[in-house]
Amino acid sequence: MELIAVFATIVLLVVLIAWLNIHPFLAFLVAATAGGIALGLPLEDIPASLQKGIGGTLGGLAAIICLGAMFGRLVAESGAAQKISDVLMAAFGKKYLTWALMFTGFIVGIPLFYNVGFVLLVPLVFSIVYQYKLPAVYLGIPLLAALSVTHGFLPPHPSPTAIVPMFNASLGLTLIYGLIVAVPTMILAGPVLARYLKDIHCEPIKTFAAEKRARDDLPSSWNCFATALLPVVLIAGFTLVPTTMAQASFAKSVVLLIGDPMVVMLLALAIATYTLGLSRGMKMSALSDMYSSAIKDVAVILLIVAGAGTLKQVFVDSGVSTDIGDLLQGVKLNPLVTAWSIATVIRVCLGSATVAGLTAAGIVAPLAALPEVNPNLLVLSIGAGSLMCSHVNDSGFWMYKEYFNLSLKDTFRSWTLMETVVGISGLLGVLILDTII
C-alpha cells in the first residue's frame, strides 16, 4: 500500500508540472503534502516535515549555488568565456573545430549554469558557421554535449551538488570521478556523434549571431583559463591533500577549512573579482550589481531544489524510504543501474534534468547506505539518467530547436539523440569506474 502511495505521489507531481503547468516548487509542495497524507503521517506533523526538507536540503547548498552563479556571470560578462573560445579555436584549427567547441563548452560549462552557457556560447557557434560555411548542427552538438555533461555530472551545478549531501558522498571525489566519466562521454556524444549529423542542414536565426568583443577588450589567456578552472582545481586538490597529512594537525585543519566547497567557491569568487574585474578597471559597484542579478537568475533553481527536499523528507519521515530501500536491495539489478533507471523514467515524464535528479535521489537514498555502493558513483549514475531522452517537455529541447531553426524531426534526431548518448555513455562510464575503484 505504501508503494502505491509513493507511485501516486510521483504521478501527481508529473501531472502538476507536465500537464497543468504548475511551477515545480509549488508542485513539489502540493505533491509532498498529498504524499504525507497518503503515507499516514499525522496531519499536524506534515508542515514540520516540509520545513525540515527545505532547510535540510538547502543548508550550505544555497551558498554554493549562489556563489557559483556569481562566478559564472563574471566569467561571461568579463569576456573570459569568449577568450577561452578564441584560444581553443586557434589551437585546434578548422579541421578539429568540433573538438575545439567541445572543450570550449566543457571549460566554460564548469562555472556556468546550463542555460547561461547555452545563451552565451551558441551565438559563438553561429559566428563560426557563417565564417567556415559548415553545418550548424555539426558544430553545435559537441559544444552542447559538453554543457550537458557538466550540468549533469559536475559540481557546482545544482543537481549533483544537492545530491552529494543526501548520500553523504564527498563533493571532491564526486567531482574527480565525474571528470573521469565526463571526458569520454562528451567525446562520444560530441565530435563522434556530430560526424553522423552533417546531413542536417539549417539556417540559424541571425538574431543570435554573437556580438564579439574587441580583442583588446578581452582578458589575457592565462587569466581566463586559470580563473575559470580555479574552482575545479581547488575542490579536487583539497580533496586529495588531507590524505597525505598527519591526523589532528593544525595544517590539516587549515586545509579542511579552506577545502570546504563553500569556502572554495567564496575564495574563487574573491580571486576572480580581482583578476577579471577590479584589475581590469571594473568598479565594485558594477560587480555587486552583476552578482545581484546572478542571484536572481538562480532563485528559481533554489526553489526547485528546496521543493524536492520536501518530497524526500516526507518519504523519510513516513518510513517508506526505508521500505523502498529494503525493496531495492531485493532487486537483482546493480544499484547504480537501478538509480539510473529511476532517474531516466522521471526525466522522460517531467523534462527537467534537475527535478529528475533530485526526485530520483530522494527515492533511492537508502541505496547509498549499502556497503557495496559507492555513494559518489551513485550521484553520477543519477546524473546520467537525468539527462536521458530529452523531448518536448524539456525547455532545453525547445531552446535548441528555435536557436538552430530546426524541424521537430531534426531536433529529435540530433538533440534528443545526443542527450540519450550522454545518458547511456555516462552510465557505462560509471559502471566501468565501479569495477576499478
Q: What is the pLDDT of residues 262-281, one digit of tens each?
A: 888 899 899 999 999 999 99
Break the chain into its structural domains and give their ranges: 2-436
Cα 340 from Cα 308, distance rounded (Å): 18
pLDDT digits (tens, 9 = 90+) for 172-222: 899 999 999 999 999 999 999 999 999 998 876 655 554 567 777 889 999
pLDDT higher than threshold 50 for residue 389: yes
pLDDT band at residue 348 using 50, 70 and 90 as cut-offs: confident
Cα 144 from Cα 150, distance rounded (Å): 10
Q: How long, in residues, is the chain?
A: 437
Cα 424 from Cα 387, distance rounded (Å): 9
Mean pLDDT of the chain: 84
pLDDT higher than threshold 80 for residue 255: no
Q: Which residues contact 317 (CB under 8 A, 6 or more apart)?
A: 36, 41, 45, 49, 52
Q: Which three cell numbers stand for residue 185?
A: 562521454
Put simply, whether the predicted model's pTM sits higher than 0.85 gets the answer no
Cα 342 from Cα 357, distance rounded (Å): 9
pLDDT score of 222: 92
pLDDT score of 28: 86
pLDDT higher than threshold 60 for residue 236: yes
* Residue bearing the bigger pLDDT, 358 or 3: 358
The string over 57-90, giving b where at least 16 C-beta atoms fall within 10 Å of a residue's C-beta and e elsewhere, is bbeebbebbbbbbbbbbbbbbbbbbbbbbbbbbe
* Residue bearing the bigger pLDDT, 237 or 313: 313
pLDDT higher than threshold 80 for residue 397: yes
